[in-house]
Structure 1
Amino acid sequence: MPRYEFTEGSSSKFWEITLEGTTLTKRWGRIGSDGQEKVEEFDSKAEAKKAYEAQIHEKERKGYTLAEGSDGDGEEATAESAVNPDLEAAILAKPDDVKGYLAYAAWLEGEGDPRAELIRIQHSALDAPAATATAARKKAEKFIEEHADELLGESLAEAVSDESLKLEWHLGFIREARVGQVDYDSVADIPELLGELLAHPSARFLSRLTIGMASFDGENEYDDTLEVLAKAKPAPPLRSLFIGDFEFPDETEISWTQVGDLKPLYKVYPQLQELRVRGGEVDFGKIDLPELRSFTVETGGLHLGAVKDIVKAKWPKLESLEIWFGQENYGAGGGVKDLKPLLDAEGVPALRKLGLRNAEFTDDLCAALPKSKILAQLQELDLSMGTMSDEGARTLAENAKAFGHLKSLDVTQNFLTKEGQKAVAKVAQAVASGNQRTPYDEESRYAAVGE
């Protein structure tokens, strides 16, 4: 128990404090006496830690100093998870095979690691009747909470408690994670938190990662976060990555966010199947993600270089591509002519869903798509949030035969009148055309999202 003392004039006092989980234990009195003791309970480890630090700070402000030989860290040491590289390699080779996890559990049990029990509990929920599965999941949640120090360590457990880190566990390991500041009062260092997560044995098989707000203070920038992600050793087998999971404009404007350079991530995470990016100032470079099935970029101003990087990429397995172009006032560049490789179906043999959204050239797209090579292979087409006028709708209607095979067409949040909506209503098997916007005049149409 850390011991602080205050000696001045006739005063000779001590004060001790210990933090264990959600419990604060304090003892104080005159030096040489047993003193008094008080125990405080808190609702979460984060609240207890905050009170612990605040009370120490208050005593230090009053002149108390750490006694010689006293340990200033009130936290108990936590056990480190046992690791077996060979068994990990077997799981990484077949991540969906439960046999690898059960073999790991057998080894971990011999090491006295509680993760073994968690693997078995979660395994019991797989392919079980609903009632059995529900009971097992509740048991696993309780087990994780009770063994948070062993399974996560102090820092990550506190981050879970204050919700800057949200986790989903699978067979004893973290399968999905979301990191991000919670609100304007948050002090979580997101790059540091992400680094701790990626280095932890529990995240060895992390498959899905979502990054929320990096900072509510000033511009929301991801440069440092991406650097941590690119330098992870060993890198987790990410299949899904979402950078920029924030609400705009409530948390920040989309164009106030700087995503940064994604190029270093391609070699580190070649098995990515889903990549979603939200924000501005994004640098794709030469995209090399051969396993990708879904790619989405949401921005208020996609610069011409980024447009060209996307349409030049080779996507042998890509099934869904969604691009938000944005407004010229916020850096958007390019037009239909810059999309020629994509419209000619170059490098996208598996593409079935295409979103060309939030564009200021939607009417031009309506004219170009009927003659494009890509249209025949599509099942879903999304032209929403753009500047489509009734003229664009009529163009689609006049070429209805070219679009008739589409299972769905989305033209919502454009500038169609009732007449325009009626014209496009039967162009595809299902057409969404509601939530239209009204321009001040013919020259005032604009993409839905800019700032």
Structure 2
Amino acid sequence: MPAKPPATKPEPIRPRYFELADKFWEITLDDTAVTTRHGKVGSPGQTKRKGFEAYYEATSEARKLVNAKTKLGYLEKVSTTTPAAKSNPALEKAIAANPLDEAAYMVYADWLQGQGDPRGELIALQAGGKDKPAKKFFDGHVDYFLGPLKAHVKCHDGFVDKKHPAFTWKNGFIYGARLAHNQYASEWKGKLATDVLTPLLAHPSGKFLVELTLNENDDPAEDTLDDIFDVIASHSLPSLRKLRIGDEVSQISWFRVGNVGKIWKAVPNLTDLEIEAGEFKLGDIDLSNVVRAVFHTGGLSKANAKSIAAARWPKLEHLEVYFGDPEYGCTAKLGEALAILERADLSKLRYLGLKNAEFQADLVPHLASSKLVRQLHTLDMSCGILLDEHVDSILAHKDAFKHLAVLDVSSTWLTKQAVKRLKGVAKTVKCDDSWNDANPQYRYVRVGE
């Protein structure tokens, strides 16, 4: 059973008032008592009061009564005065520590309902999977739940057909946010950093943000995300678990991100990091809770490769590094990839992708002798320049790979015959597709521009 909320005495809440045709129904929660009033609209009506031993019992009863009336078709008449949001630091700290724990939200919902905060009802409805009643209730309190964010519920990227909502909701709060603005595709003239992200992080609905996606910011080829990173760096986001920078980027090498490294201290509990961009700066990576990290680029710089190789992430289980093409900014070399293989402190790593590299074949003997590879479940060598002639090197070291559940050589230049030769090197040799151009001058890594 969920823990009971602290036995603090709540303030009496304003009545909630509902109407159906010419009838009204009103409910008030005052400490451990529930008072209802009903009758014809315009009349004093009849009043009934019921007491309980504890206020959370009264809250539960009030919720049941409200649900029963709304099922009958009663519509709530919302007050024009927006109530102030309530706060309970102890309960909020428990949610921030584990924002995926639904039970913690339900405890908070009981407390909020006892304080007369509409968010308590929204939490109960969304957590209970009552989507239609939750939407109806949300729409009736939209100013309270969104405030200045109401103007930004759709992304400002102009791609209406994608129907990307700016906010996704769960357990009464904004669970995920996607910020995007393309000045060439949208008529909106604001700034994501000051007009969307700043009020989002200040609003009670954004208090437990779990996922954040950052895409284009004004001019996608010229403007970086540095002003957005500055806002994040000035806050503490203990509930943030997933950060994605770049989402369905069409020309990856044109997407300039800026200095991501300035935000690491603001996201101490991040578990999932994905960057899909051309130009960015990682700096000193210290992310003690990250489990999955993906760096999807057509041109990895030497500095960023060194940052990845030296990163402090002891819980890391999944790492994918795209290297890329020198024509599109790749200055990382084989040596930087080897620095990753030399790590002896990544005991939880099970998936390693050193991929999209021109030096893909040169990695083979180093992979075979790496202690890190021996602990892997999946070795991903996809998207790079791997030719039929390189299969001999893999077969010469096949004993080093036989423990692997998956060896991924997808999107390389291996022919079907070469892939067949690899059968048995690992439990599964994955090759979803391959390119078979015989002309060396047309062989390039899969992700470039």
Please give the TM-score of this superposition, normalised by the length of structure 1. Answer: 0.74
Compute the displacement of 1:377 (Å).
0.5
The answer for unaligned runs of 5 or more in structure 2 is: 1-79, 156-162
Indicate yes or no: 2:218 matched with 1:215. yes
**Is the 1:213–1:246 contact (alpha carbons within 8 Å) kept by the matching residues of 2?**
no
Partner SS for 1:355: strand
Compute the displacement of 1:227 (Å).
1.4
2:253 is aligned, of 252, 255, 260, to 255
**Cα deviation code 1:170-229 (max 9, x no counterpart):** 221122222223781252532231222111111111111112222356435211111122
Indicate the residue corresponding to 2:374 in structure 1.
Answer: 376
Indicate yes or no: 2:350 matched with 1:341. no
Partner SS for 2:166: strand
Distance 1:446 1:115, change over 3 A: same
Compute the displacement of 1:450 (Å).
1.4
1:84 is aligned, of 88, 100, 123, to 88
**Is the 1:411–1:431 contact (alpha carbons within 8 Å) kept by the matching residues of 2?**
yes
2:430 is aligned, of 429, 432, 442, to 432
Give the superposed CA RMSD: 2.3
Distance 1:93 1:296, change over 3 A: closer
Amino acid at match of 1:224: D
Amino acid at match of 2:173: F
**Is the 2:220–2:254 contact (alpha carbons within 8 Å) kept by the matching residues of 1?**
no
Compute the displacement of 1:167 (Å).
2.6
Amino acid at match of 1:83: S
Q: How many residues align?
A: 360
Partner SS for 1:152: helix
Indicate the residue corresponding to 1:169 in structure 2.
Answer: 169
**Cα deviation code 1:63-94 (max 9, x no counterpart):** xxxxxxxxxxxxx8755533333432233245
**Is the 2:99–2:210 contact (alpha carbons within 8 Å) kept by the matching residues of 1?**
no
Taking only the aligned residue pairs, the percentage that are identical comes to 38
Distance 1:158 1:406, change over 3 A: same
Indicate yes or no: 2:231 matched with 1:228. yes
Query: What is the CA–CA distance in structure 1 between the aligned matches of 2:104 and 2:416, rounded to whole Å?
Result: 59
Distance 1:242 1:161, change over 3 A: closer
Query: What is the CA–CA distance in structure 1 between the aligned matches of 2:215 and 2:154, rounded to whole Å?
Result: 17
Compute the displacement of 1:392 (Å).
1.9
1:74-153 alignment, distance < 5 Å: 79-125=83-129, 136-153=130-147
Query: What is the CA–CA distance in structure 1 between the aligned matches of 2:154 and 2:342, rounded to whole Å?
Result: 50
Partner SS for 2:243: strand
Please give the TM-score of this superposition, normalised by the length of structure 2. Answer: 0.74
**Is the 2:177–2:212 contact (alpha carbons within 8 Å) kept by the matching residues of 1?**
yes
Distance 1:81 1:165, change over 3 A: farther
Q: Give the stretch that moved more between structures: 282-291 or 101-110.
A: 101-110
**Cα deviation code 1:398-420 (max 9, x no counterpart):** 32221111111111111112332
1:10-409 alignment, distance < 5 Å: 79-125=83-129, 136-153=130-147, 155-161=148-154, 165-181=165-181, 184-187=185-188, 189-192=191-194, 193-216=196-219, 218-219=221-222, 221-232=224-235, 234-248=236-250, 253-409=251-407
**Is the 1:325–1:332 contact (alpha carbons within 8 Å) kept by the matching residues of 2?**
yes
Distance 1:220 1:438, change over 3 A: farther
The answer for unaligned runs of 5 or more in structure 1 is: 1-75, 126-135
Q: Give the stretch that moved more between structures: 316-325 or 192-201.
A: 192-201
**Cα deviation code 1:333-384 (max 9, x no counterpart):** 2332222332123331110001111111111112321122211101011111
Amino acid at match of 1:245: D
